[in-house]
Amino acid sequence: MGLAKLIYSLSPAWLQTAMVTAQGFVFNHRRMDVRLARRLLAERRESQWWDEDRFQRYQEIRLRDHITFAATHIPYYKGLFKSLGMNPRDVRTVEDLGRLPLLEKSVIRKSPDAFLWGGKRSRSWNKLFTSGTTGSPMELFSSRESFTRSWSFVFRLREWTGLNDPIFPRRAQFTGRNIIPDKRIEIDRAFWRRNFAGNALLMSTTHLSQDTVEAYAEAIGRFSPELVDGYPSAIQIVARFAMARALELPSPRAIITSAETLVPDDRRVIESAFGCKVFNQYASSDTGAFICDCEEGNLHLNPEFGICEILTPEGRPARPGEEGEIVTTSFCNTEQVFIRYKIGDLAVRGPDEKCPCGRMMPRIEAVTGRVDDILFIPERGFVGRLDPIFKSLNGIWEAQIVQESLERLRVKVVPEPGFDGSSRAALEASLHEKVGPDVDVVIDEVKEIPRGPNGKFQSVISLCKDRYPRMA
Ligand SMILES: [Zn+2]
């Protein structure tokens, strides 16, 4: 533990609030350039109405600049162009970009500094971490300017939701950041801290459980936010609790969910409990792509953010309705550059028809989740989207599937009143339907399910990936 973290963990709640607020202040002034944010937001307000040609022209100009920059200043790409015998000026269009190899996370892990401007870190940069679903998180770097550039897309989305002040709305944020040290829990019984500088209430997702959910609902009620955002797995817990108790929650302007897959049933429950629309935002923490819902509830790729390819396992661009892996080339960041980066998420390409919102930004049908959430079952091949099973059954607070071996799944269930022998049988049956009769299904009733890195809920975990056939 670093010294700052140690001091924080030992401080009383009021001092932690002061520290969270100070961090908010740092965010506003050191990480973020608020004046630049306002200027970029004004630009994005115009560009959102561009037609396809205009977006394409913009992307090509930015792409050429970006590739030339990478080949000049980023050691990995200097070496790559040399070894390919390619001139960076040969990459002029999105099709040309396809001549460059795909970038795997493992390559970055091997020599992270080779992807940095000048090959080394600068103290003036912001440092962030990705969640790293599979363990070790990755360090991400960006300057104040690049950071602001990425955030301008969040601000534009907030404008779409109808917020008056998209930069500093009064917001309740469900965060995986460890803001509540364990030592304080028994003393304060408060699972949130106020960030006065950011006009926000930070709510810890790691402490949200059957025992604490009521306190969360009350805290949101008292705070009365204009915006609720964060992990859908956390927000839906509060929503379901309020529905079950017929509790009235405050009605914010909108809810923005991010960082996890939003399943339709959670969206429905959150919308009715809070009485407002849910906007789903997919912005990979590796700052690779930005995809978000418009007012019509359709997902759009934000083309000014960068180039986002959706590639089938054979490596060709997905057709409308086809699922593929998200591969990103972001224009936002020049301090750390990833080109054609396989981020590890899957999406289904949307239809070519224009969205009723009037924007010509390409459509995405769905962001379907992590590649990691797909299990390999010898009888069935790759099986995805297992977690909706739980939603259709009664008496389950939450559940997690752990693939212990190719032959056995262990399901951890946090039961609610009403979970009995027939619920167990129903759960077993619907799982067997998905994975076949030969896989052993063991159901364990547990009190809680620990959150993964960054406080995210992991509904599916495999412990035997090394026995999977290699995915393309
Ligand atoms: Zn739209």
165 with 262, same domain?
Answer: yes
CA of 164 to the centre of ligand 1 (A): 20
Determine the pLDDT at residue 453: 67
441 in the same domain as 359: no
Q: With 90 as the cut, is the pLDDT of residue 378 above it?
A: no
Residue 328: pLDDT over 80: yes
Q: Which of 23, 22, 26, 19 is nearest to 184 (CA)?
A: 19
Supply φ then ψ for residue 35, to 5 degrees.
-65, -45
Top mean-pLDDT range of 12-26, 160-174, 192-206: 160-174
360 Cα: distance to centroid of ligand 1 (angstroms) = 8
User: What separation, in Å, do the N-terminal and C-terminal C-alpha atoms of the chain show?
Assistant: 39
Res 466: pLDDT: 83
pLDDT in tens, 448-470: 888 876 677 888 888 988 888 76
Confidence of residue 133 (pLDDT cuts 50, 70, 90): very low
Distance between Cα 250 and ligand 1 center (Å): 27
Q: Select from 332, 350, 370 the last residue of a domain.
A: 370
State yes or no: pLDDT of 206 exceeds 90.
no
At 136, is the pLDDT very low, low, confident or very high (cuts 50, 70, 90)? low
Q: Are residues 435 and 324 in the same domain?
A: no
In this structure, the answer to whether residues 321 and 395 fall within a common structural domain is no
CA distance 263 to 199: 29
Out of 310, 335, 370, pick the residue that ends a domain: 370
* Nearest C-alpha neighbor of 129 from the set 143, 139, 142, 121: 139
Q: How far is the CA of 362 from the centre of ligand 1 (A)?
A: 9
**What is the C-alpha to C-alpha distance for residues 287 and 106, in angstroms, rounded to an integer?**
17
For the segment 399-414, the average pLDDT, to the nearest whole number, is 93
Centroid of ligand 1 to alpha carbon of 354 (angstroms): 8
CA of 47 to the centre of ligand 1 (A): 14
Q: What percent of the chain has pLDDT over 70?
A: 94
Q: Are residues 256 and 354 in the same domain?
A: yes
Q: Whole-prediction pTM value?
A: 0.85
Mean pLDDT: which of 5-14, 361-370, 436-445 is highest?
A: 436-445
Please spell the DSSP secondary structure of 312-351, one letter per residue.
-TTSSBPPTT-EEEEEEEESS-SSB--SSEEEEEEEEE--
Q: Which pLDDT band, with edges at 50, 70 and 90, does 188 fall under?
A: low
Q: CB–CB of 350/295 below 8 Å? A: no
Q: Which of 370, 404, 421 is the last residue of a domain?
A: 370
Mean pLDDT of all residues in 279-288: 79
pLDDT surpassing 90 at residue 326: yes
Least confident range of 67-76, 195-204, 334-343: 195-204
352 and 315 assigned to the same domain: yes
Q: What is the pLDDT of residues 51-108, one digit of tens each?
A: 999 999 999 999 999 999 999 999 999 999 999 999 999 999 999 999 999 999 889 9
> Residue 38: which residues within 8 A CB-CB, separation 6 or more?
167
Residues 420, 282 within the same domain:
no
Same domain, 136 and 273: yes
Rounded alpha-carbon distances, angstroms, from residue 470 to 53, 274, 352, 464, 466 = 39, 43, 32, 13, 9
Q: Are residues 394 and 416 in the same domain?
A: yes
pLDDT given for residue 165 in this prediction: 94
Q: Residue 134 — pLDDT band, cuts 50, 70, 90?
A: very low
Both tokens of 451, joined, read 């959150």
CA of 340 to the centre of ligand 1 (A): 26
Question: What CATH number corresponds to the domain at position 428?
Answer: 3.30.300.30
Question: Which tokens go with 234?
Answer: 């956390």
Centroid of ligand 1 to alpha carbon of 51 (angstroms): 13
Q: Give the range of the structural domain holding residue 143, as residue numbers without chain letter.
A: 32-169+226-370
Q: Is the pLDDT of residue 132 over 50?
A: no
Q: Which residue has the higher pLDDT, 31 or 286?
A: 31
Residue 471 has pLDDT above 60, yes or no: no
Q: What is the pLDDT of residue 15?
A: 82
If pLDDT is split at 50, 70 and 90, which confidence band does 135 have?
A: very low
Residue 359 lies in a domain: yes
Q: Which band of pLDDT confidence, cut at 50, 70 and 90, is reported for residue 340? A: very high
Ligand 1 geometric centre to CA of 379 (Å): 40
Residue 90, domain member (yes or no): yes
What's the 351 CA to ligand 1 centre distance in angstroms?
12
How far from 91 is each of 2, 68, 114, 422, 466, CA to CA, in Å?
44, 9, 21, 60, 37
Query: Which is more confidently placed, 32 or 70?
Result: 70
The answer to whether 309 touches 327, Cβ cutoff 8 Å, is yes
CATH number, position 103: 3.40.50.12780
Q: Quote the pLDDT of residue 363.
A: 98
Q: Which residue intervals of 134-228 are DSSP H helices?
A: 144-160, 182-188, 213-223
d(CA 115, CA 17): 36
Helix (H, G, I), strand (E, B) or coil at 410: strand
- Residues flanking ion ligand 1, Cβ below 5 Å: 294, 296, 298, 355, 357
Q: Residue 251 Cα, ligand 1 centroid: separation in angstroms?
A: 24
Distance 36 CA to ligand 1 centre (A): 26
Q: Are 362 and 379 contained in the same domain?
A: no
Q: Do residues 294 and 350 touch, judged by C-beta distance below 8 A? A: no
Mean pLDDT calculated for residue range 199-209: 88
Distance 358 CA to ligand 1 centre (A): 6
Cα of 279 from ligand 1 centre, angstroms: 12
Q: How far is the CA of 197 from the centre of ligand 1 (A)?
A: 33
Span of 157-171, 182-196, 335-349 with lowest mean pLDDT = 182-196
User: What's the confidence (pLDDT) of residue 284?
Assistant: 66
- Answer with the residue of higher pLDDT: 157 or 388: 157
Whole-number Å distance, alpha carbon 388 to ligand 1 midpoint, is: 26
Residue with tokens 């990103």: 328
Q: 96: CA distance to ligand 1 center in Å? A: 29
Scan for tokens 């030339």, then name that residue: 68
Type of residue numbered 244:
A
